[in-house]
A = this chain, B = another copy of it.
Amino acid sequence: MRELFFLTGNPGKFHEATVIFQDALLDINLQQDPTELVEIQSEYLENVAMYKLRYYVDTLGNRDRSCFAEDAGFFVTGHLNGFPGVYSAYVQKSIGNEAILWLMDGEADRTCHFSACIAFFSAITGEYSTFAGTVEGTVASEQRGTGGFGFDPIFIPDEMPEVTFAELSAEVKSSISHRGRALAQFISFLGENPDVL
């Protein structure tokens, strides 16, 4: 069975990816490597994910391992110019969902999206590839639901305008989520290019 390493310290993200890979019935042994990597400040998820990956492969010298890194963010384009974007994890930890709701108080344009980017390195070909996923939605007027994590309780996906991400099961959320979509693209690529692993 071919090995593939997901470079993440987040057990929730790893679990989500494991389930999706199992469902895809690919002959791949997905493993977690929680090595701490360097995250750069950039407005582009792709740059952050790619830098993490190159740091692991080139700087730490893991050219013999096929692996991927991921970065994701919550972008409030209505009223907040894309904030918190690539700094979502920090903003979530420091001021949280209530601060976002307060900043959006009374605002009509509540457009937002989640985006994720996966950067993949093939130890066989030596090449890098990226895969992106996005889900459009609106900022809720209050927190709802207990599932998911982060900004999920204030995100209402356009596909299901009655619920927040935190009110969905993990399976349903993955079927439309930014990360689920990026992983689906990645898995489709792996299926079509069996020689990269």
Q: What bracket does the count of chain A residues touching chain B fall in? A: 20 to 34
Is there contact, CB below 8 Å, between A95 and B103? yes
Beta-carbon nearest neighbor of A59 in chain B:
B59
Q: A102-B102, A103-B95 are in contact. Are A51 and B80 (CB under 8 A)?
A: no
Enumerate chain B residues within 8 angstroms of A81, measured Cβ to Cβ.
93-95
Instruction: Give CA–CA (A103, B103) in the complex, Å.
Output: 7
Instruction: Give CA–CA (A41, B103) in the complex, Å.
Output: 24
Asked if A38 is at the interface of the complex by the 8 Å CB criterion, the answer is yes
Q: A39-B40, A40-B38 are in contact. Are A99 and B103 (CB under 8 A)?
A: yes
Instruction: Give CA–CA (A190, B129) in the complex, Å.
Output: 47
Asked if A91 is at the interface of the complex by the 8 Å CB criterion, the answer is yes
Asked if A82 is at the interface of the complex by the 8 Å CB criterion, the answer is yes
Instruction: Give CA–CA (A94, B48) in the complex, Å.
Output: 19
Identify 13 residue pairs between A and B in the complex whose beta-carbon atoms are under 8 Å apart, listed by A's number: A38-B40, A39-B40, A41-B48, A41-B87, A41-B90, A43-B90, A80-B99, A83-B94, A83-B99, A87-B87, A95-B103, A102-B102, A103-B103
Extra contacts besides A41-B90, A83-B99 (15): CB < 8 Å:
A38-B40, A38-B51, A39-B40, A40-B41, A41-B41, A41-B48, A43-B90, A80-B94, A80-B95, A80-B99, A81-B95, A83-B94, A83-B95, A87-B90, A99-B103
